[in-house]
Structure 1
Amino acid sequence: MKNLIICMAVFGCFAFAKAQTPTASTNNKQWTLSECVQYALENNISIKQSQLDIESADADRLNAFGNFLPTANASGGVSENTGLSFNPVTNNAQTTTFLSVTGRINVGYTLFDGLRNVRQLQQAKIAQIASLYRLDKMKDDISLFVANSYLEILTNKANLEVLQSQNQVTLDQIERTKELVDAGQLPKGDLLEIQATNASEQQQIINAQNAVTISKISLAQLLLIKDYETFDIADDDYEIIDESIASKPVSEIIAGAESNRSEVKIAEKEVELAKKSLQIAKGAYYPSLSAFFGYDTRYTDATSFTQTVDPDNPVSIEQIGVVQETGQAVVGEFPNTIATLRGADPFIDQLYQNDGIAYGFQLSIPIFNGFSVRSNVQRNQVNLKRTEYQLEQAKLDLESNVYQAYVDVKGARESYEAAKKAVESQELAYNYATERYDVGLTNAFDFSQSKLRYDNSKINLNQAKFNYLFRLKVLELFFGIEPTDLKL
């Protein structure tokens, strides 16, 4: 079945990670199906990975929400510069070293970006819900796989009980045959035939015991339990089979699957995500408008030179021209300044003296970008169509799987009823053969064949019964029964 194949693929690497989980104590504990399912849901690595996907979706949603908030960034730098500079006093080049400190704060806010920030937040919310649905589907698949492994153990145990019980009959028959052979009522060949049957049954018992052990180890590995030797399941009476789900009309089961199963819900969310991606891509066609504000300041310990009036010679007289008619010189008085070396202002004073602000708006209008926006829109349109087809296919697959599960239950039920009738018939034939053998009317070979057919019919009954139970569990999951509520 498709779901079973999916489950097997999911658990391909599951069993190999068992050494990384804590050992569960299984001493003297017999696990029920619901306990196995619950334990698997709490410890399964694939489920933990799906839970990490939910956490990742939460982070994406937080990031999308952050797009509505302003951005604020601060930066600073300290540097020491050594190099050639000119001395304004001597007008000679000389090497100086000075320390400089810069600081800046920038604040930005997006006013409009084609509603892409709105679409991204909506997309993040949808992705978060889709992650929850994927987790639910993972739990259903794991529960189904656990149920199948659990029922496999029950089948192998039931088969072992049949073989052991019938072998005891064979051992009793050997004792009776010995007495008849010793009394001369039966040939020795009959005793040899039954002894050969006993040897064959002993081999089958060993194989059945190995099958029980292997199936228990398989389930223990599935549950990440390393205590294989003491792991066991509850040996309850599973003769009563609940048919409450199988008795419902298939249309009601399909309706329940559509409202409870995650396959269609996941596909629906994928369509919604594709629509949001398309809207985000189209948003790149629109202009974007943002506001900004910046503040910066600086400090340096470099010395500087200032021009001051020479106190000893405050003015100087210089010729500034000549009277053209008389040729008389025209002079003027000018302040006589000298260059004075000045140290750096205090750090705090410079922060106020050298600061500045910048603010405004920035508009970006897309004109031509090499068809990148157009091609991105086309890709998202194709992806939207693909997800719509996948949704349609998911609905068809779900309906097909429910029908298949429903038919499988009906067929398993009929097979189980037929197996019960076969056991009844083979039991009558076996009893009749036993009576004839006891009075010497049939030989040991014919008796052994009758017993073999009876044994096989009981084994077939076990397989039919537990196969029917498994098909019921599949149908229950489709109908919406919680994985932890699966019972036998």
Structure 2
Amino acid sequence: MLNLRSIVLLRFHSKYMKINKYNSLVLAMLFGFGLSSQAQSKKWTLEECVRYALDNNITIKLSELDVKNAAIDKKGAFGNYLPSVSGDASHSWNIGLNVNPVTNIATTQTTQYSSLAVNAGVDIYKGLQNQNTYRRAKLSIIASKYQLLKMQEDISLNVANAFLEILFNKENLKVKKEQLSIDQKRLARSQEMVNAGTIPRGDLYDLKATEATDQQAIIVAENSLLISKLSLAQLLQLKEFADFDVIDDTNAKDENNILAQTPVDIYNKAKEIRTELKLAQTNLEVAEKNVAIARGAYQPTLRGFYQFSTRASYSDRIIGVDANNNPVLAGPLPILDQFSDNKGHNFGFQLSVPIFNGFSVKNNVERNKVSLEKSKIDLEQKSLDLQRNVYTAFTDAKGALNAYESSTVTLEARQQAYNYAKEKYDVGLMNSFDFTQAQTLLTNAQSDVIRTKYDYMFKIKILEFYFGIPIVPIITK
């Protein structure tokens, strides 16, 4: 089994190689990749591709990190209810004239002292800002989960589109190869007829040109297939994709009978379950909380505080006075005893009333009101977009089904016309040009069937999405 690099090398050396600059660049990329990949027998199903993308796509991983950040913000918002506690410790040297912090006597000397303190504070009332901040944090978690789910749904749909593109290119390549095989047999038979003098040699040249055109069409079809495989492999974030391939586990049937529903029924169901509406609604609720938090700054705040402190000095202490009323000094008490004797408590309440703040609070409220209005408009727009998308998807699916059925009928007619033309050509009643025209029409009809088939399948997938039928069930974490 040849890997992608081997195929590309062969095609670059083929005398029939005629592709545009874009395909050349992409094939050059393929040449750079897959240098050491080994042949793989595994072929991916649609469900396996979607599952792998959901587990490994970088964009989804970033969205999962946003969910974690939202959970951290919720913890921070809950922490606003709790008191703040801090501890302080200091040790200082004072040189020269200074007041002994223990004796309160100014002396010229070098002194040392240590102090310890514990401070605590708690918000008693803050304009309900802490409560609204916590509620907003919970809504932000919900919004981030909806955003993740929407990302997963979008990736699933993109994977399905890329998967069906590969299947289309496979079928198209198969048709091109079958056409080449038919033309080669015709060329061999025509050579015999020319040798026998039954047909003119000019017909043989036409067939040789047709065969060369078939060779070129195969190369273009192979290039398209390689590019579509590369696109899906990169969407899946595969590191080794030189031999990446898929298997057709789909069918062109409306298994869920989605087209039996009416657009109104699909839209009503979509309004209840679609992630983009839930996300927009949650963002609206977050904007409402932002307004409430901003308004809370108009109100006074009440905070309770408590402080415990103690200190110790390393200087001499006064133990009395002598006959001349001069202080009698002694060495410092033990440090631990001083800490015990000098401890103190300080507690109370602090009320802060906003009077004027340069319109900062008012401007912040107005700014959040504007954001709220934008969220309302966004929700309304999302609802209108959903209605339009549902009706469009339903119409597209119906049209794709009709196109697929019509192309199938056309193919049957073209096949019969081709068979009749072949019978006439074989007995010399039709020239090669007219026969080639019949053959071209048949090939175009085959291509149309393939194109309309996979277009119909993808349109059905989109319509099922709006009705709440995912490609694979998405497990939320």
Bin the TM-score by the shorter chain: 0.7 to 0.9
In structure 2, the partner of 1:429 is: 417
In structure 2, the partner of 1:242 is: 255
Of the three residues 446, 455, 462, the one matched with 1:458 is 446
Structure 1 Cα separation of the partners of residues 37 and 368 of structure 2: 48
Letter in 1 for 2:352: S
In structure 2, the partner of 1:8 is: none
Of the three residues 187, 199, 202, the one matched with 2:215 is 202
| In the alignment, structure 1 residue 296 sits paired with structure 2 residue 306 | no
Q: Which structure has the larger Rg over C-alpha atoms? A: 1
CA spacing shift, 1:26–1:469, aligned 2, 3 Å? farther
In structure 1, the partner of 2:227 is: 214
Paired positions, count: 436
Of the three residues 327, 330, 336, the one matched with 1:348 is 336
Shift of 1:398: 0.7
Specify every segment of 5 or more residues in structure 2 that has no aligned partner in the other structure, as ranges.
1-28, 30-35
In structure 2, the partner of 1:322 is: none
Structure 2 Cα separation of the partners of residues 355 and 183 of structure 1: 124
Of the three residues 389, 412, 421, the one matched with 2:400 is 412
Bigger mean CA offset, 42-51 vs 238-247: 238-247
Structure 2 Cα separation of the partners of residues 169 and 135 of structure 1: 51
| In the alignment, structure 1 residue 172 sits paired with structure 2 residue 159 | no
Of the three residues 52, 70, 76, the one matched with 2:89 is 76
Structure 2 Cα separation of the partners of residues 381 and 267 of structure 1: 16
| In the alignment, structure 1 residue 392 sits paired with structure 2 residue 380 | yes
Q: Is the 8 A contact 1:153 1:216 kept in 2?
A: yes
Of the three residues 344, 359, 364, the one matched with 1:371 is 359
Of the three residues 331, 347, 350, the one matched with 1:359 is 347
Structure 2 Cα separation of the partners of residues 157 and 344 of structure 1: 95
Q: What is the RMSD of the two structures over their aligned residues, measured on CA atoms?
A: 2.3
Of the three residues 42, 47, 58, the one matched with 1:34 is 47
Tell me the TM-score normalised to structure 1 length: 0.85
Letter in 2 for 1:183: A
CA spacing shift, 1:368–1:36, aligned 2, 3 Å? same
Query: Any idea what the Cα deviations from partners look like across 1:200-235, whole Å, max 9, x if unmatched?
Result: 001110111111111111111110112222211013
Letter in 2 for 1:343: G
Structure having the higher strand fraction is 1
CA spacing shift, 1:247–1:59, aligned 2, 3 Å? same
Letter in 2 for 1:263: E
In structure 2, the partner of 1:470 is: 458
Query: Any idea what the Cα deviations from partners look like across 1:30-76, whole Å, max 9, x if unmatched?
Result: 11111111100011111111111111111111111111111111111
CA spacing shift, 1:74–1:121, aligned 2, 3 Å? same
Letter in 1 for 2:306: F
CA spacing shift, 1:171–1:468, aligned 2, 3 Å? same
CA spacing shift, 1:352–1:398, aligned 2, 3 Å? same
Tell me the TM-score normalised to structure 2 length: 0.87
Structure 2 Cα separation of the partners of residues 292 and 391 of structure 1: 44
Q: Is the 8 A contact 1:25 1:227 kept in 2?
A: no
> In structure 2, the residue corresponding to 1:31 is in which secondary structure?
coil
The 5 Å alignment of 1:140-179 reads: 140-179=153-192
Structure 1 Cα separation of the partners of residues 393 and 106 of structure 2: 97
Letter in 1 for 2:340: Y
In structure 1, the partner of 2:120 is: 107
Q: Is the 8 A contact 2:121 2:303 kept in 1?
A: yes
Shift of 1:80: 3.3
Shift of 1:26: 8.5
CA spacing shift, 1:26–1:72, aligned 2, 3 Å? farther
Shift of 1:340: 3.8
Shift of 1:84: 4.9
Structure 2 Cα separation of the partners of residues 30 and 212 of structure 1: 15
In structure 1, the partner of 2:434 is: 446
Specify every segment of 5 or more residues in structure 1 that has no aligned partner in the other structure, as ranges.
1-15, 17-22, 310-334
Q: Which runs of 4+ in 1 moved over 6 A?
A: 23-26
Q: Is the 8 A contact 1:108 1:291 kept in 2?
A: yes
Structure 1 Cα separation of the partners of residues 336 and 271 of structure 2: 70
> In structure 2, the residue corresponding to 1:233 is in which secondary structure?
coil
Letter in 1 for 2:470: E
Shift of 1:126: 1.0
Structure 2 Cα separation of the partners of residues 158 and 210 of structure 1: 14
Q: Is the 8 A contact 2:54 2:152 kept in 1?
A: yes
Structure 2 Cα separation of the partners of residues 113 and 92 of structure 1: 45
Letter in 1 for 2:124: L
The percent identity for this pair of structures is 42
Structure 2 Cα separation of the partners of residues 338 and 364 of structure 1: 49
Shift of 1:345: 1.4
Letter in 2 for 1:112: Y
In structure 2, the partner of 1:120 is: 133
Structure 1 Cα separation of the partners of residues 214 and 460 of structure 2: 33
> In structure 1, the residue corresponding to 2:258 is in which secondary structure?
coil
> In structure 2, the residue corresponding to 1:30 is in which secondary structure?
coil
Letter in 2 for 1:297: T
> In structure 2, the residue corresponding to 1:151 is in which secondary structure?
helix
> In structure 2, the residue corresponding to 1:238 is in which secondary structure?
coil
Q: Is the 8 A contact 2:163 2:232 kept in 1?
A: yes
Query: Any idea what the Cα deviations from partners look like across 1:98-133, whole Å, max 9, x if unmatched?
Result: 332221111111111111111111111111111111
CA spacing shift, 1:243–1:167, aligned 2, 3 Å? farther
CA spacing shift, 1:148–1:433, aligned 2, 3 Å? same
Shift of 1:468: 0.6
> In structure 2, the residue corresponding to 1:246 is in which secondary structure?
helix
Letter in 1 for 2:308: Y
Shift of 1:240: 4.2
CA spacing shift, 1:388–1:440, aligned 2, 3 Å? same
CA spacing shift, 1:437–1:182, aligned 2, 3 Å? same
Letter in 2 for 1:176: R
Letter in 1 for 2:224: A
Q: Is the 8 A contact 1:24 1:225 kept in 2?
A: no
